[in-house]
Amino acid sequence: MKLSGTDRAALCNVVLLGFFALGLGLSLLVVNFRTAIVLSQPVELNGEGITVSLPAGTGWQSLPNWTYEQDNSFTLVSVFKIQDRSIAEVRWQLQLAQRPLPAEELLAHYAARFSGQAGEMQRFESSVSFVWMYLFPRAAQEELLLALCPLDSNRVLLLQIRCYAEPLYIRELFEFLAASVAVNPDPRRAEGIRMVQELAQKIQTDGTINPAAPLSYLIRAADGTPLGYSRITPADSGPDETLPAAFDVTTVLRERNGAGRTVQEFRAAPDLSEFIWNTTRLARRKADQASLHRQPDGTLKIQDSYGRRESYWPAPAAVPEILLPAMARQLMEDSAPEILIDLIASNGSIVPTALRVINPQEAAVKVDDTRYAVKVDFLHHEDNYEEYYFDAELNPLGKYESFPAQAPRLWIRTTEKELLFHFGNLFDAPPKSASLIGGPERLVARPMDALIRQKGSPNG
């Protein structure tokens, strides 16, 4: 069939009208998607001064709270589902110990974890500044948007938006979510940094953390049953004279098939700029070892008996958990009501931790001669905390430990004579492994998951 000129003109008009209608329809569709973006109420991360929002509305299923992960981070996730099929996912993540690098380098490092072609880096400015990019995985009909915002104390806020269907509004969703971020630094952290500096100064002047004589603690169950003991003993700094602050801790707990023994060796520079902390756990004839080396440049190197070798960059004022009793006493001496610090656990995990002075009458247990008490809340789990008790001269009397899904334990300062009475058959420690001293290259370790697992605690 042959068309006349008039027919061709009419057909062109119809086609143009169709394109116009299609464009208008797509525009309306995008507008509808954009106006359909509904965000949740801000979700705060306790102790970090950070609040973010998640997508809300029909189809979106979100976690109610931030969750602590094994890679030293907190995550918050929302998933969009249709008939049990995941269509999109939004994931916030706060990394607690990232290497201090420019945002673009950090984003490139983060993007390298995913396979696919990376797009151009761009910036989005709101209350905080994000660097972001598209990432196109090899899977069909999948698109990923990665965004990153560096924060203080070696923190990095990450945002990941993944779409498994046609991503019509992934850019708009990112902008809404990024604009929802609010960062208000917690004043308790500045107090914590100041107090860590004061503790370091005190160590340099009077050797605060070096015990003059052994300290012994009897460990009891809630019903008073003796469970084990712990001894803190002064020690030589070993071959490395640059780490003169030195002590050892041996903790023995009865188990069904014998006794579990933990031996810790701690050596530190007077200003805490460097330390070597070795942990050996013996249980059921198996030995697990862990070694942490905090270097003067801020790097925390971790080695383990399974061959793990990792590096983290904790906040400059992060404190090894083995010094937590000294921090509790420093809080009392400084008369500060509450502080916030990062604790480094014996497996290298970083846990934000709040310390506050409490009335001894409000303590979980009543310990004789207690005049002062400090409560320690480990913010990775709401049911994990400790209390430290001191007499009128701020001498340590003991501590109370509360664990998730486990019975609590009470440590009471005692004499070696009483320990021999209760645990004479367990009292002789096995020979110390000399290979644990002498430099990080000779140290081996195993990652201790007691901090992360549901039935654990930061001090294992």
Local mean pLDDT, 10-residue blocks, the chain (460 residues): 48 46 39 63 94 91 92 95 86 96 94 84 95 81 90 96 75 94 94 92 77 89 91 80 87 78 92 93 84 96 90 94 94 89 95 96 94 96 93 95 91 91 67 39 32 36
Q: Which residue, among 341, 261, 240, 350, has the nearest Cα to 300 in the 3D structure?
A: 350
- Run of H or E including 400: strand 396-402
β-sheet bridge partners, residue 215:
232
Residue 238, pLDDT score: 67
**Structural contact between residues 131 and 138, judged by C-beta atoms closer than 8 angstroms:** no
| d(C-alpha 244, C-alpha 249), whole Å | 16
Q: Enumerate the CATH 3.40.1000.10 domain ranges in the chain, comma separated.
A: 38-183
Beta strands in 211-257 (DSSP E): 215-221, 226-234, 245-255
Burial of 334 (0-12, 13-18, 19+ CB in 10 A): middle
Beta-carbon count within 10 A of 64 CB: 9
Alpha-carbon distance of 253 to 261, in angstroms, equals 7
Task: Give Cα 324 to chain centroid, integer Å.
Answer: 16
Indicate the length of the chain as a whole number. 460
Q: Which two tokens stand for residue 154?
A: 């070696």
pLDDT value, residue 452 = 31
Spatial CA neighbour of 48 closest among 164, 184, 149: 184
Write down the pLDDT at residue 268: 92
Give the type of residue at 228: G
The closest alpha carbon to 351, from 365, 339, 341, 362, belongs to 341
For residue 365, what pLDDT is reported? 94
Tell me the CATH class for 38-183: alpha beta
How far is the CA of 359 from the CAs of 116, 117, 365, 367, 399, in angstroms? 57, 58, 12, 13, 15
- Determine the Cα–Cα distance for residues 432 and 424; give it in Å rounded to an integer: 19
Distance CA 446, CA 279 (A): 9
**If you ran DSSP here, which 8-state letter would residue 231 be given?**
E
8 Å CB contact between 98 and 87: no
